[in-house]
Structures are given as structure tokens and as C-alpha cells.
């Protein structure tokens, strides 16, 4: 028995060695290495150009359920396999499943006329598909974390919280099969942009939800969409495959026949695969990886990173002069150049410069700034520090109580924390302690106010008030715990102001109060670098997905 | 009869072990600060509370524990909190085959070669062969798999272009990750086998065997290897379990859809149900593997047969 066992082992190991050698010799002889593309290379000889686009993502998508999606990877795919009333394409809002829409005089009633479009299985798209989807997302039993996207709509928030159960009182209504009416609580000129940006506004097939229940949207068999592509395969944590939807209303514009997303968590592996030509495009590449490529593209906007300084009563940073000293000491430009991902832009304020009002950036129409130079201002910083020490009755910065900077444990966040710590130590002689925590704990500390300084990344949205409205008194997003009644009043007033220009001016005024207080220090708008092979045409990097938009792309050669 | 008693006894002990494991993990996991909805997308406090209550995570901990145990008894590990509409059972069902496949391949390479080299280097103690084997095992133990994996990718995929870079598709895709995982296993096995052989070789019964004129080959096969493999068997239970359950680093570098990533990601993301489900699965597997090892002891060495 034993003898046999050992002989087998030896035999097996020899076999393994032989196998390894054989593998080397057979493949060096053939022209293409064996890979998942091997069956595609056969087609190359038959068709002129194979319209297959392959890209690598760093994470798998989470769900195909429109009501639940809250991650970038799911949105990226959902954008291609489903469609909303309007669509964000090449940074412009274009028509989607709605052929046209009318806005009432007062800007409150939006009437969408749906086009003759079908789901990918041929079933007609109706206004009820949208009504069903919106109410399903709002329904407390669905457990969606995205209900606040609907806050502009009359009584949507009340319905989402369960206070109101009568659907007819919510401003969502199907007038007939092809007409959808949404009623807003206040004039919100950014509403169309919100609709175009959010995959949570896409329609859902009621019959599929009812058929599959909890497993709706967990695999290609339980999902049907209306978009330019159809999901044909989803191997979890491995590969996602899409094919052109032949019955899509605008199918003529779609060139690609097939899109393959490979899930490759490791960045080195992704970049090597790009070098090998296994993938046609990559995005979100870190600064260190771009060194070996001369022609990478960059893109910024969509997210703002700012420091929240805990300004709560009784906290050390309740002292405004000290906050200003810290703010003026930061050399944002050097940090962005040395650490941040390529394309990152220094931020001057709490509004994203890529937010447009009828084609013009909000930031040029309504200027504002912290007035802190991007390289910092050491003299100003020291002057503010002296003022702060005076107010606190101290003579030396070393006498300051401990200041804790809470950072997430990702490499980039840690590097930011260390660079900022160095700025404060070198320029102000203030020692800031770093507390590096895993994501949930770091967010926990942020929400509990258990920090002095922390870096917050927040999506800037399509409405310039997205971040600003969080700093009102008692708001859950007011991480700085900064309390200013004048500010809160302005924010509340502007939200219900029916005069658009006046409301934007109020917003601008409120922002200057916030920036002046230095309760929050805008740092930068993180950028993203991307790589595309020469033979890919019309690939776009847009705000819609925060990554690549491939639906109109093509393979050129 | 005694065999059945042994099995029944072991079965009961196993159940108790797994029960304690689940209970401890359940409560320990919940002592971690934070909640699964504190993600980088920054939900408001109200929204977090809403989600906590949707998942029943705001109920008294003991009540949640009872619910979990009830479902567990029916084999239901619940829904993942992160992957909303995927069950933990589904996650295990899709990821485990990949991890197990890779693990078995690595073991199939590492076990025979490792044992062979261990025996060889012990037999050739102090000679060049011995030093080479020891060198190989030192290298294997000390090079972390992420370095080895990247190195293999660089040579075979990027430079020579004879093997695919990553993913788990064809037989060709399995070669590099198998080597990356096998080398460290091989190194450990070589070291343990060598040490164990050296000890056995100086035993009295080996001298007796020699004295009674048994051929060298027979002594090695019948007396030395057989006795020297006891420590290997002891190692094998935990080793096989952890290898089959997936390895985070190799899976990440080679983009393999295995279980290892779920272990790590669910803990950092506080996806309680996934962490617990995987712990239960791991526990059952480990207990079963150790049970097999105990039976194997009896086959290899009649002295430690547990039943009389």
C-alpha cells in the first residue's frame, strides 16, 4: 500500500514536471499565446474588424438592482445595459427613453414623453415601468440607501420614511402608457442633470422582480434592461460580458458588438495586461504606474476631498484662528504633485468647477475662494497661530493639547495624512497625531465626531449646493460640527427660492461664510489617469460613470 | 464496534467545536467598532440607522444570534450585506470550487516533490544535494507569494509571453498561480520531512532492520518514510484546509475568483454574514480534515490506533 503510494507520488511529480515543460515548448511555437481571446482571434480572419472591446476593472459590480445600486462598478455596467429618461453622454444631457420633455412655467412639473422603445426581450417600455421603479426604490421594505436622490420630488422623502403610504400624494405619476409626470417641491434647474446622472432613476421590470424576489438582479438570468447592450454573462469576481442590444432604439449608433470587463484587483497585473494587449483600456491608474507610459489621459472632477476640522463647542479646533493657521500652512500644490493620482486639481472652494449652468462653469459665474494660495502661506499661517495661542492663553505651539488626525488605512489616504502632518510640523511646529483606521472605523469616527481633523471624500453631484447643504446646523453630513445660524438660514432660503439667480447668489454668500470660517478646508479634486490602446476610438471619460463611457466606442483597426 | 464509537464521539466533539466557533465568532465580530454601512459613499446617520433596522442589526444582539443559529441549522447562511442580493451560500458555491481547484493543484505539485526532496536531502545529509534542497526550501519559505507571483508573471507572461497573465479560464491559466502557491508549501514540506527523516534514521529499529540484513530500499520505504510521515500528516489537516479555502495574495495578483478575497474583504467591510458564513464553512472543513488525519494516523502507525 505504502509502496504504491510513494510510486504514485513520484510518478505524479514527474508528470507535473513534464507537463510544465510541454507547456513551454508547444506555446513558443505558435503565434498567439493561449488566452481567453483565443476564439476571438479566429474571427479576426473572417470579419474586417472585430468590434470587441475589453477593459479591466478593479472590482466586481455589486448588483443589477436599480433600486439598490450605490457603487461605481455597478453603475458603470448599468449605464450600458439599461437607460433612463435622459442620458449623460460626452458630458451633455441627451435624450434617453424619453423622446422629449416639457417643464411647466414655474419649473415644478416635468412631463416626459417616452419614445417607442422596448426592453431587450421585445416588451414595450411604458411609463409604469418608471413609476414602479421609483416607488420600489422609495419603499422602506426595499431597503435602498439611495432614496435621497428623489428628495426634490413632492412627498418622496415622506414616502421613503414610511410616514406617507398613499402613492397618489407623491409627485410621480404615469399620465398614460407613454407619458410620465414628475412634480417637484421646488424649482430645481439641476433636476434633469440628476436624472441623467443617476442609475437609480432607471426603469425596472415588475414581472421580473415578482418572479425572482430577492435574487432579482444577482445574475444575467434575473435581469432585463433597455440599454444599448445586453448582459450575457457575469462570472462573479472574474468576467462580465455584454453584447449589442439589436432592438435598442438607437442601435445604429452603437458600433461595438461585444464588451468584456475583466475583474483584475491588482494594479500591477492590470497594467501588465494592458502592455500585453490583453485589455484595450484601463482607468484609475495611480501616479506610480503612469511613469512607464507617455500618453496617458487624465480627468478630474466629480469628487472633492476636504479636511473636516472638528469645530464643535469644547473642541480645540473650535478656535477659528487655529483652524486658519492649519489651513494656511498646507502646501496643496506640492502634495498634489508628489502623491495624488494624475489629473488631480487643487480645490479653492466647496463647489466642483465642472458643474455647469447652461454651458458656463458655476465657479466662474459665482466666484469664491478660501484665498489660501495653492502653495500655502507660511507667514499668514504663523500670524494666525500667534493669534490662536493668544486666545488660548498659551505661549508656544508645543503647549497645545493633542490634535488627532483620523485617516483611513488606504495607502493614498495615509500618504496624504503624513504629508499634511509634515506641513504642520515644519511650518507651525504643531505636532498632529495620526490615527490610521480601517474604513468602517474611520467613517465611524467621522460620524461620531471622534477626531480633530479628518479627510472627507464626497461626491460633488450636479447641483452646486450638494456639499454646501450638508454644513447646516444639526445636519448629518456636517462632519465638522460647525454651527452658524446665518449660514443655515441662507442655505434653507436658497433651496426654496423660486428665483434661480437669486438662489445661486445666496448659495455663493453662504459658501463664503463657510470658507471664511475654515471649518472645512477644500484640498483637491482627485483625478484619474486612463490608458487606451491606439486602436480604440470614441472612448470617453465622463462624469456619468466617474470612469469610462464605452457605449459609443469602436475598434478602429 | 469501537470504530463506530470513535466516529460518534468525534462527531459529537465536532458539533460542539463548531457551535463554540460560531458563537464566539458571532459575538467577537460584533464587538468590532463601526457598522457595515459606514462605507466611503458616506451615508447619513439617518440612512445608516434605516439600513441597520432593515437588516435587523438594531435588534438585541442575543435575539440576532438566535435568529442566525436558527437559519444556520437549516443550512441558510443568509444574504451578504455588501452584495445585497447574493446569499453567502451562493458566494461559497461559486468561489470555493476555484480555490479548491487551485489548492489541489498546488498540493499535487508540492506534496510529492516536497516529500521526495525531504527524503532525498535527509538521505544525502551534508552532501551537495542536501544543501541544494535546503537552499530551495529556505527560498521557498522566505519569498512571499506576492513577490514570487509578480516575478512569475513578469518572466512568463510579460517577457516570454508563453503563459497568460491572470484570470482563471483555461488550463494554461492555472500554471503560474499553481507554482506561486506550491513553492511555499513545497518548502515547508521539504523541511519537515527532512527533519523527521533524520530523527527516524537514528532510531534503534532502523539499526535493527539493518542488522537483520534488510535491503536499504526496504528500510527506507518500510521503516523510515512510514514513521517520518507522522508529523507531515499532523500538518496536512490545517494545511489542506487553508490551501483549499483560498489565499488572498495569490488570488489578488492572478485575479482569481476564489474564497480568499471574500475572507479579507468581508472582514474589512464588516460584512458580518459573509465573515460568519465563511468561518462556519472553514470550521466544518477543518474539523473534517482533522478527522481524516486521525484515521490516517491509524493506517500509517498501528501504535497510535485510537481503538483497541
**HSE-up of residue A458 (Cα within 13 Å, Cβ side):** 31
Flag if A214 and B79 touch (Cβ within 8 Å): yes
The per-residue pLDDT for A543 is 66
**CA dist., res. A544 & res. A546, Å (int):** 6
Q: Give residue A426's pLDDT.
A: 93
What is the Cα–Cα distance from A183 to A108, expressed in whole angstroms? Answer: 6
Q: Is the Cβ pair A12, B158 closer than 8 Å?
A: no
pLDDT at A27: 32
A15 CB within 8 Å of a chain B CB:
no
Residues of A in contact with B166 (CB under 8 A): 262, 264, 266, 269, 273
- Contacts of residue B256, defined as CB under 8 A and 6 or more positions apart, other chains included, come to A238, B98, B99, B102, B166, B167, B168, B177, B250
B114 and B186 Cβ atoms separated by less than 8 Å: yes
Per-residue pLDDT at A35: 37
Ramachandran class of A222: left when φ > 0, alpha when ψ lies in -120 to 50, beta otherwise: alpha
Give residue-wise pLDDT tens across range A542-553.
766 677 889 999
Q: What is the per-residue pLDDT for A290? A: 83
| Higher local confidence (pLDDT), A165 or A17 | A165
Cβ–Cβ gap A236/B257 under 8 Å = yes
Residue B140's alpha-carbon distances to A26, B185, B213, in angstroms, are 28, 8, 38
Distances from the Cα of A66 to the Cαs of A84, A138, A462, in angstroms? 11, 12, 20
CATH fold of A52-262+530-555? D-Maltodextrin-Binding Protein; domain 2 (3.40.190)
Report the pLDDT value the prediction gives residue A545, as an integer from 0 to 100.
65
DSSP letter, residue A479: T
pLDDT in tens, A472-499: 988 878 899 999 999 999 999 988 888 8
**Average pLDDT score over chain B:** 89
Length of chain B: 308
Mean pLDDT of A155-172: 94
| CB atoms B83 and A62 under 8 Å | yes
Number of A to B CB contacts under 8 A, please give it: 185
Q: Which of B33, B47, B160, B165 to mutate to test the interface with A (most CBs of A within 10 A)?
A: B165
CATH topology of domain B95-257: MetI-like fold (1.10.3720)
Query: How near does any CA of chain A get to the CA of B23, in Å?
Result: 23
Give tens-digit pLDDT for A455-466: 999 888 888 988
Any CB–CB contact under 8 A between A266 and chain B?
yes
What's the grid cell of residue B50?
A: 434605516
Sheet holding A98-103, edge to edge: A98-103, A109-114, A179-183, A172-176
Statement: residue A247 has pLDDT above 60: yes
- pLDDT (mean) for B256-273: 91
Tens digits of residue pLDDT in A486-540: 999 999 998 888 888 899 999 999 999 999 999 999 999 998 888 999 999 988 8
A347 falls in which pLDDT band (50, 70, 90)?
A: very high
According to DSSP, the β-strands at A356-357 and A360-361 are antiparallel
Nearest CB to A16 within list B108, B154, B172: B108
- pLDDT tens digits for range B153-167: 999 999 999 999 999
Q: Cell 545529509 belongs to which residue?
A: B125
Residue in chain A closest to B117 (alpha carbons) equals A10
How many C-alpha atoms does A188 have within 13 Å on its Cβ side? Answer: 25
- On chain A, the residues whose CB falls within 8 A of the CB of B116 are 9-10, 13
pLDDT in tens, B173-193: 999 999 999 999 999 999 999
**Dihedral sign from CA coordinates of A77, A78, A80, A81:** positive
Contact of B241 with B286, CB cutoff 8 Å: yes
Q: In angstroms, what separates the C-alpha of A142 from chain B's closest C-alpha?
A: 9
Write down the architecture of domain A303-525 according to CATH.
Roll (3.10)
Can you tell me the mean pLDDT for A297-302?
82
Most A CBs within 10 Å, among B76, B146, B167, B173, to test the A interface = B167
Mean pLDDT score, B77-98:
91
Q: What is the pTM of this model?
A: 0.85
Q: What is the per-residue burial (b if ≥16 Cβ within 10 Å, else e) of A91-108?
A: eebebbbbeebeeeeeeb
Which part of chain A has CATH 3.10.105.10? 303-525
Strands (E), A137-219: 172-176, 179-183
pLDDT value of residue A88 = 85
CA dist B289 and B207 (Å) reads 35
Out of B43, B84, B115, the one facing A62 most closely (by C-beta) is B84
CB contact under 8 A, B269 and A278: no
Average pLDDT, rounded, for chain A: 87
Higher-confidence position of B56 and A19: B56
Q: How far is B176 from chain A (nearest CA, A)?
A: 10
ipTM of model: 0.87
Q: What is the mean pLDDT of residues A71-100?
A: 91
Query: Which residue from B46, B85, B153 is facing A269, i.e. has the nearest CB?
Result: B153
Q: Do B170 and A476 touch (CB under 8 A)?
A: no
Domain boundaries in chain B? 95-257
CA distance A489 to chain B (A): 21
CA dihedral A470, A476, A479, A484 (to 10 degrees): 60
Outline which parts of chain A fall under CATH 3.40.190.10.
52-262+530-555
d(CA A276, CA B163): 11
Set of chain B residues whose Cβ sits within 8 Å of the Cβ of A304? none
Amino acid at each position: 500500500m505504502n509502496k504504491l503510494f510513494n510510486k504514485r507520488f513520484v510518478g505524479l511529480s514527474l508528470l507535473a514536471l513534464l507537463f510544465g515543460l510541454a507547456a513551454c515548448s508547444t506555446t513558443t511555437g505558435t503565434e498567439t499565446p493561449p488566452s481567453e481571446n483565443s476564439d476571438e482571434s479566429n474571427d479576426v480572419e473572417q470579419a474586417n474588424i472585430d468590434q470587441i472591446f475589453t477593459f479591466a476593472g478593479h472590482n466586481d459590480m455589486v448588483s443589477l438592482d436599480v433600486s439598490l445600486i450605490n457603487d461605481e462598478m455597478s453603475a458603470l455596467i448599468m449605464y450600458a445595459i439599461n437607460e433612463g429618461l435622459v442620458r449623460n453622454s460626452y458630458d451633455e444631457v441627451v435624450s434617453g427613453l424619453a423622446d422629449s420633455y416639457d417643464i411647466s412655467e414655474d419649473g415644478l412639473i416635468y412631463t416626459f414623453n417616452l419614445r417607442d422603445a422596448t426592453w431587450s426581450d421585445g416588451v414595450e417600455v411604458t411609463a409604469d415601468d418608471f413609476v414602479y421603479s421609483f416607488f420600489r426604490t422609495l419603499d422602506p421594505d426595499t431597503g435602498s440607501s439611495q432614496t435621497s436622490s428623489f428628495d426634490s420630488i413632492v412627498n418622496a422623502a415622506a414616502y421613503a420614511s414610511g410616514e406617507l403610504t398613499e402613492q397618489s400624494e407623491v409627485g410621480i405619476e404615469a399620465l398614460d402608457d407613454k407619458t410620465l409626470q414628475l412634480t417637484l417641491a421646488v424649482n430645481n434647474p439641476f433636476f434633469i442633470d440628476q436624472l441623467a446622472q443617476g442609475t437609480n432613476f432607471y426603469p425596472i421590470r415588475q414581472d421580473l422582480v415578482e418572479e425572482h424576489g430577492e435574487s432579482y438582479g444577482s445574475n444575467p438570468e434575473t435581469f432585463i434592461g433597455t440599454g444599448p447592450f445586453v448582459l450575457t454573462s457575469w462570472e462573479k469576481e472574474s468576467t462580465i460580458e455584454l453584447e449589442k442590444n439589436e432592438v435598442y432604439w438607437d442601435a445604429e449608433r452603437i458600433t461595438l458588438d461585444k464588451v468584456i470587463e475583466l475583474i483584475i484587483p491588482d494594479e500591477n497585473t492590470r497594467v501588465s495586461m494592458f502592455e500585453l494587449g490583453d485589455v484595450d483600456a484601463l482607468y484609475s491608474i495611480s501616479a506610480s504606474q503612469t511613469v512607464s507610459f507617455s500618453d496617458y489621459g487624465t480627468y478630474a472632477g466629480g469628487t472633492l476631498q476636504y479636511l473636516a476640522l472638528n469645530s464643535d463647542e469644547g473642541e480645540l479646533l473650535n478656535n477659528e484662528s487655529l483652524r486658519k493657521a492649519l489651513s494656511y500652512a498646507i502646501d496643496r500644490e506640492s502634495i498634489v504633485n508628489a502623491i495624488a493620482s494624475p489629473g488631480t486639481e487643487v480645490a479653492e472652494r466647496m463647489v466642483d468647477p465642472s458643474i455647469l449652468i447652461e454651458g458656463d462653469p458655476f465657479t466662474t459665474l459665482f466666484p469664491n475662494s478660501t484665498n489660501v494660495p495653492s502653495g500655502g502661506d507660511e507667514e499668514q499661517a504663523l500670524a494666525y497661530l500667534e493669534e490662536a495661542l493668544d486666545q488660548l492663553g498659551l505661549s508656544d505651539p508645543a503647549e497645545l493639547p493633542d490634535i488627532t488626525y483620523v485617516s483611513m488605512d488606504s495607502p493614498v489616504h495615509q500618504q496624504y495624512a503624513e504629508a499634511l502632518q509634515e506641513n504642520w510640523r515644519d511650518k507651525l511646529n504643531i505636532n498632529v497625531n495620526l490615527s490610521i483606521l480601517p474604513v468602517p472605523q474611520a467613517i465611524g469616527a467621522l460620524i461620531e465626531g471622534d477626531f480633530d481633523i479628518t479627510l472627507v471624500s464626497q461626491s460633488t453631484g450636479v447641483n452646486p449646493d450638494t456639499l454646501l447643504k450638508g454644513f447646516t446646523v444639526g445636519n448629518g453630513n456636517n462632519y465638522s460640527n460647525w454651527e452658524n445660524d446665518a449660514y443655515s438660514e441662507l442655505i434653507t432660503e436658497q433651496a426654496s427660492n423660486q428665483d434661480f439667480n437669486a438662489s445661486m447668489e445666496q448659495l455663493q454668500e453662504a459658501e463664503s461664510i463657510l470658507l471664511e470660517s475654515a471649518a472645512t478646508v477644500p484640498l483637491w479634486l482627485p483625478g484619474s489617469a486612463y490608458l487606451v490602446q491606439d486602436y480604440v476610438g470614441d472612448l470617453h471619460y465622463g462624469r456619468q460613470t466617474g470612469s469610462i463611457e464605452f457605449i459609443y466606442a469602436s475598434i478602429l483597426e | 464496534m469501537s470504530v463506530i464509537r470513535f466516529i460518534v464521539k468525534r462527531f459529537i466533539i465536532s458539533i460542539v467545536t463548531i457551535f463554540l466557533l460560531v458563537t464566539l465568532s458571532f459575538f467577537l465580530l460584533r464587538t468590532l467598532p463601526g457598522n457595515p454601512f459606514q462605507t466611503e459613499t458616506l451615508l447619513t446617520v439617518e440612512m445608516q440607522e434605516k439600513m441597520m433596522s432593515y437588516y435587523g442589526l438594531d435588534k438585541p444582539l442575543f435575539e440576532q444570534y438566535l435568529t442566525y443559529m436558527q437559519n444556520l441549522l437549516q443550512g441558510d447562511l443568509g444574504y451578504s450585506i455588501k452584495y445585497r442580493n447574493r446569499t453567502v451560500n451562493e458566494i461559497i458555491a461559486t468561489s470555493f470550487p476555484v480555490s479548491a481547484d487551485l489548492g489541489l493543484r498546488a498540493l499535487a505539485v508540492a506534496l510529492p516533490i516536497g516529500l521526495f526532496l525531504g527524503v532525498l536531502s535527509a538521505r544525502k545529509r551534508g552532501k551537495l544535494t542536501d544543501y541544494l534542497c535546503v537552499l530551495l526550501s529556505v527560498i521557498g519559505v522566505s519569498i512571499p507569494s506576492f513577490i514570487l507571483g509578480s516575478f512569475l508573471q513578469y518572466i512568463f507572461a510579460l517577457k516570454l509571453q508563453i503563459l497568460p497573465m491572470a484570470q482563471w479560464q483555461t488550463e494554461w491559466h492555472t500554471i503560474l498561480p499553481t507554482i506561486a502557491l506550491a513553492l511555499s508549501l513545497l518548502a515547508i514540506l521539504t523541511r519537515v520531512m527532512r527533519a523527521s527523516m533524520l530523527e527516524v534514521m537514528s532510531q534503534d529499529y532502523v539499526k535493527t532492520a539493518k542488522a537483520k540484513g534488510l535491503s536499504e530500499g526496504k528500510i527506507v520505504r518500510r521503516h523510515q518514510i512510514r514513521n517520518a510521515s507522522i508529523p507531515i500528516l499532523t500538518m496536512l489537516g490545517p494545511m489542506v484546509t487553508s490551501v483549499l479555502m483560498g489565499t488572498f495574495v495569490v488570488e489578488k495578483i492572478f485575479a482569481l475568483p476564489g474564497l480568499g478575497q471574500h475572507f479579507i474583504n468581508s472582514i474589512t467591510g464588516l460584512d458580518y454574514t459573509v465573515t460568519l458564513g465563511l468561518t462556519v464553512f472553514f470550521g466544518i472543513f477543518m474539523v473534517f480534515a482533522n478527522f481524516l488525519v486521525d484515521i490516517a494516523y491509524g493506517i500509517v502507525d498501528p501504535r497510535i490506533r485510537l481503538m483497541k
